[in-house]
């Protein structure tokens, strides 16, 4: 049947959420979580193969749409969700052994994890800009109770901040969507079809430019809050630092990408309607502000998860900047950067998760000598940090190099700002991680052996992307870059 | 009399819709100044009712069948279900008779008036493009959103902040009705579902907040700042 892969990709996490809501507190639930995530990954891989062989896909009365731009994000989301579920198994069992969570909360955790994956995939796969908004808001709601899973005052405060800031932010995006519908209705007529992206994309030249430029301001503010763009990023470090580490990994690695994806989809429409670089300029502005804020706040952090959270803001800023610049090279680089950032940052959070669990603290000055007590965690964190800081030959170097060289040619004013920020981030992060990895320590072993395979699988992929990009992936990126413009 | 007759006669439909819009704005201002949590919930229910009536009027005069359904769901959710949930919550949390000390209500009201003027200016270019009979009320819709936002900023307690958030959603719904006769049905249902889920999740969350802080006062929540760790 046409689009059955889409049904499987969405159905696997949805069915998993129901199953885990019923049995999520059993001893084998975390294993079930891994299996469900694996099925989602298999379904998304089948979907990707189909898109590779047959091109863009519209299914179920145009309700779902897959093209080269979102198919790589679907696969990436399913992949990182799968590896995170592998990492999460021993991690959450250790947390339970330490008495930080009960089995009832574990059930909530497993169920919401799958709901979260489902909503993210729905944002990516839906063709309807209204449903996209609904799914993104649902993703926020699913993670509120996950951020506060430990029920400590700090985690509750973080979850409250996350809920209020993201909901208010995303309410702006709803207003933007209403304005978009107002413009669309004039051209496409009322009813359900007027918000379908593919339909809008065909008539984007006829959409009312004044309304669309106003709509884009609201949309970028709204979805930008989810993507962690400064100055709307305040929720992000708190939510990352106080929630369980697997959630930090998926928030940083996946949710931020999803927010940015929504912005880019809107940008395509607005560019078509306006014929001016207005949307791009706005994105470059938000992007560069995020890079600067991320880098400078990063250097002041004491908590290891907060530090890496600010690094995510910095990288999302860089990606937004690249999308804003536009053109085939910058867009290609932006998509590559999205991919390698997701892989690297989640790998880092896996390593950090085990490190903080071992030492029982997130304060960087109390974590020392990981290389002695557990060489794999230590190396994972060191290599991950080198990768995220853009050292060759990792993939982040390739994407940052492309972004910076394009910026020097097309936006020369921005290049020095970006370079200084990257240098500040490098100096701050490298010295701290070095102390954590190579310092002197006395540590003890964990009751459940950590799952470190995901860390090295991710880093190996990032290394591979730095040295050699598979031709079909490069084709996707190129096709998507042409689409986005 | 002469000046009145010089105005173009407004059809009944527009007059009724304008009446509803002004009621929305009035309720939004009342919420801004309301100190008692119980009364705040009643105001929220009234706002939902006005929203539903407005929906019915627009549906009647324009013949958009979907809007009847919207009105029905609005009554079900915003006039009955959510206020009931909120009343249940404040009874359970024993904050039914809470009175919030709001600083400087007159200043807040003045700020509100400035926001209304701003909202009308913002709405002007959009409402000229909208082809609906309700377009004149778009400015009020934006004003309701902004006033709800102001309310969220000025409140220091958890429940009123959430009511502010819900009022903001009401304003957005009103904006959708006046600019475009409502969003497509599937989107509208999705939004309502999100709102319902949100309130239920927050209901659970309130109990966690109180367990952790012994109160629902948000002034305890100022630990996570940049400098102090």
pLDDT at B215: 78
pLDDT at A352: 92
Q: Is the pLDDT of residue A86 over 90?
A: yes
Token pair in block for residue A379: 């190396």
- Nearest CA-CA partner of A118 in A9, A45, A22: A9
More confidently predicted of B216 and A209? A209
Q: Is the pLDDT of residue A41 over 60?
A: yes
pLDDT, tens only, B95-126:
877 777 777 788 889 999 999 999 999 888 88
Is A178 within 8 Å of B183 when comparing Cβ atoms?
A: yes
Mean pLDDT computed over A289-302:
92
Chain B residues inside the 8 Å CB shell of A178: 172, 175-176, 179-180, 183
pLDDT, tens only, B37-56:
899 999 999 999 999 999 99
Chain A residues inside the 8 Å CB shell of B224: 154, 157-158, 161, 238, 242
Q: What are phi and psi of A449, to 5 degrees?
A: -60, 135
- What b-and-e string marks burial along A197-236, b requiring 16 or more CB atoms within 10 Å of the CB? bebbeebbeebbbebbbbbbbbbbbbbbbbbbbbebbbbb
In the structure, what pLDDT confidence band is assigned to residue A104 with cuts at 50, 70 and 90? confident
Q: Is the pLDDT of residue A341 over 90?
A: yes
Mean pLDDT computed over A302-307:
92
pLDDT, tens only, B116-152:
999 999 888 888 777 777 777 888 999 999 999 999 8
> Looking at CA atoms only, how far is residue A238 from chain B in angstroms?
7
B101: left (phi over 0), alpha (psi -120 to 50) or beta: beta
Chain B residues inside the 8 Å CB shell of A185: 180
- B214–chain A Cβ distance below 8 A for any pair: no
Mean pLDDT estimate for chain A: 90
Is A130 within 8 Å of B201 when comparing Cβ atoms?
A: no
More confidently predicted of A25 and A427? A427
Quick one: chain B helix, strand, coil %, rounded to 5? Answer: 80, 0, 20
Is B212 within 8 Å of A156 when comparing Cβ atoms?
A: yes
Q: Looking at the partner chain, which of B172, B197, B202 has a beta carbon nearest the beta carbon of A171? A: B172
- Which secondary-structure segment (H or E) carries A373? helix A370-373
| Beta bridge partners of residue A128, listed in sequence order | A196
Locate the domains of chain A by residue range.
277-485
Give DSSP secondary structure letters for A384-413. Answer: HHHHHTT-TTSHHHHHHHHHHHHHHHH-TT
| Beta bridge partners of residue A9, listed in sequence order | none
Is B187 within 8 Å of A128 when comparing Cβ atoms?
A: yes
More confidently predicted of A26 and B139? B139
Interface mutation target, options A128, A156, A214, A215, chain B, most CBs of B under 10 Å: A156
Q: Is the pLDDT of residue A339 over 50?
A: yes
In the structure, what pLDDT confidence band is assigned to residue A445 with cuts at 50, 70 and 90? low
Chain A residues inside the 8 Å CB shell of B215: none
Token pair in block for residue B3: 């000046």
Please name the residue that has the structure tokens 């013949």: B63
Is A144 within 8 Å of B205 when comparing Cβ atoms?
A: yes
Question: What gap in Å lies between CA A289 and CA B41, rounded to an integer?
Answer: 40
In the structure, what pLDDT confidence band is assigned to residue B7 with cuts at 50, 70 and 90? low
Question: What gap in Å lies between CA B54 and CA A465, rounded to an integer?
Answer: 56
Q: Is the pLDDT of residue A112 over 60?
A: yes
Mean pLDDT estimate for chain B: 85
Chain B residues inside the 8 Å CB shell of A135: 190
Residue of A nearest to B204 (CA): A145
Distances (CA, A) of A320 to A239, A268, A289, A347: 21, 14, 10, 22
3-state secondary structure A107-127: HHHHHHHHHHHHHHHHHHHEC
Name the most confidently modeled range: A48-57, A186-195, A207-216. Answer: A207-216
Distances (CA, A) of B225 to A290, A310, A462, B214, B228: 18, 14, 34, 21, 6
Chain B 127-186, residues with CB within 8 Å of chain A CB atoms: 129-131, 145, 149, 152, 158, 161, 165, 168-169, 172, 175-176, 179-181, 183-186
- Specify whether the CB–CB gap between A139 and B195 falls below 8 A: no
Check whether the bond before A405 is cis (ω within 30° of 0). no
Q: Is the pLDDT of residue B228 over 50?
A: no
Is A181 within 8 Å of B176 when comparing Cβ atoms?
A: yes
In the structure, what pLDDT confidence band is assigned to residue B65 with cuts at 50, 70 and 90? confident
Mean pLDDT computed over A56-83:
91
Max Cα distance, chain B (Å): 69
CB pairs under 8 A between A and B: 135
Chain A 388-417, residues with CB within 8 Å of chain B CB atoms: none
Query: What's the gap between Cα A6 and its chain centre?
Result: 21
Chain B residues inside the 8 Å CB shell of A182: 126, 129-130, 179-180
pLDDT at A443: 63
pLDDT at A319: 96
């Amino acid at each position: 049947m046409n689009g059955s892969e889409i049904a499987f990709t969405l159905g696997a996490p949805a069915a998993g959420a129901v199953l885990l809501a019923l049995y999520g507190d059993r001893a084998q639930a975390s294993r079930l979580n891994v299996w469900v995530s694996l099925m989602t990954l298999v379904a998304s891989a089948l979907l990707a193969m189909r898109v590779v062989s047959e091109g863009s896909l519209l299914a179920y009365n145009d309700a779902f749409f897959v093209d080269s731009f979102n198919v790589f994000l679907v696969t990436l989301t399913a992949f990182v969700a799968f590896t995170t579920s592998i990492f999460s198994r021993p991690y959450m069992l250790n947390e339970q052994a330490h008495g930080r969570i009960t089995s009832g909360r574990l059930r909530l955790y497993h169920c919401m994890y799958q709901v979260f994956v489902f909503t993210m995939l729905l944002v990516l796969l839906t063709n309807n800009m209204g449903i996209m908004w609904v799914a993104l808001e649902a993703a926020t709601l699913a993670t509120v109770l996950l951020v506060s899973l430990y029920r400590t005052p700090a985690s509750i405060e973080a979850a409250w901040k996350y809920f209020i800031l993201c909901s208010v932010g995303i309410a702006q995006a709803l207003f933007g969507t209403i304005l978009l519908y107002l413009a669309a209705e004039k051209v496409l007529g009322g009813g359900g079809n007027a918000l379908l992206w593919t339909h809008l994309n065909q008539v984007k030249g006829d959409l009312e430019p004044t309304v669309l430029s106003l709509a884009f301001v609201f949309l970028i503010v709204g979805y930008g809050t989810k993507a962690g763009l400064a100055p709307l990023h305040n929720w992000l470090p708190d939510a990352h630092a106080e929630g369980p580490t697997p959630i930090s990994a998926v928030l940083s690695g996946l949710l931020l990408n999803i927010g940015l994806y929504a912005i880019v989809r809107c940008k395509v429409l607005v560019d078509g309607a306006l014929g001016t670089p207005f949307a791009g300029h706005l994105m470059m502005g938000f992007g560069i502000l995020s890079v600067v804020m991320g880098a400078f706040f990063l250097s002041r952090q004491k908590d290891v998860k907060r530090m890496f959270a600010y690094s995510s803001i910095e990288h999302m800023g860089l990606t937004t900047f690249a999308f804003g610049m536009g053109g085939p090279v910058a867009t290609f680089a932006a998509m590559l950067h999205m991919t390698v950032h997701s892989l690297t940052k989640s790998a880092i959070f896996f390593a950090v998760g085990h490190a903080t669990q071992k030492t029982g603290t997130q304060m960087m000055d109390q974590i020392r000598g990981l290389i002695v007590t557990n060489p794999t965690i230590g190396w994972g964190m060191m290599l991950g940090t080198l990768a995220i800081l853009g050292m060759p030959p990792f993939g982040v170097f390739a994407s940052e190099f492309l972004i910076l060289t394009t910026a020097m040619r097309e936006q020369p004013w921005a290049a020095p700002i970006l370079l200084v920020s990257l240098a500040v981030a490098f100096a701050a992060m490298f010295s701290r991680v070095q102390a954590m990895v190579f310092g002197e320590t006395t540590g003890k072993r964990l009751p459940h052996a950590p799952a470190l395979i995901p860390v090295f699988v991710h880093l190996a992929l990032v290394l591979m992307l730095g040295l050699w990009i598979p031709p079909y992936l490069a084709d996707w990126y190129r096709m998507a870059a042409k689409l986005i413009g | 009399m002469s000046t009145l007759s010089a105005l173009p006669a407004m059809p009944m439909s527009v007059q009724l819709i304008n009446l509803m819009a002004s009621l929305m704005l009035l309720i939004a201002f009342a919420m801004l100044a309301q100190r008692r949590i119980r009364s705040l919930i009643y105001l929220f229910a009234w706002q939902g009712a006005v929203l539903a009536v407005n929906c019915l009027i627009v549906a009647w005069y324009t013949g958009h069948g979907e809007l009847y359904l919207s009105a029905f769901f609005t009554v079900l959710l915003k006039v009955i279900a959510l206020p009931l949930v909120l009343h249940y919550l404040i009874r359970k949390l024993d904050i039914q008779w809470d009175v919030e000390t709001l600083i400087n209500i007159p200043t807040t009201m003045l700020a509100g008036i400035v926001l209304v003027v701003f909202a009308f200016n913002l709405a002007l270019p959009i409402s000229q493009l909208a082809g609906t009979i309700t377009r004149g009320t778009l400015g009020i819709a934006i004003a309701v959103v902004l006033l709800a936002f102001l309310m969220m900023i000025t409140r220091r307690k958890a429940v009123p902040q959430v009511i502010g958030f819900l009022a903001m959603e009401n304003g957005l719904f009103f904006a959708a009705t006046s600019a475009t006769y409502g969003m497509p049905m599937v989107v509208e249902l999705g939004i309502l579902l999100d709102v319902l889920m949100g309130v239920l999740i927050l209901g659970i969350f309130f109990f966690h907040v109180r367990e952790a802080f012994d109160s629902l006062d948000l002034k305890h929540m100022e630990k996570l700042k940049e400098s102090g760790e």
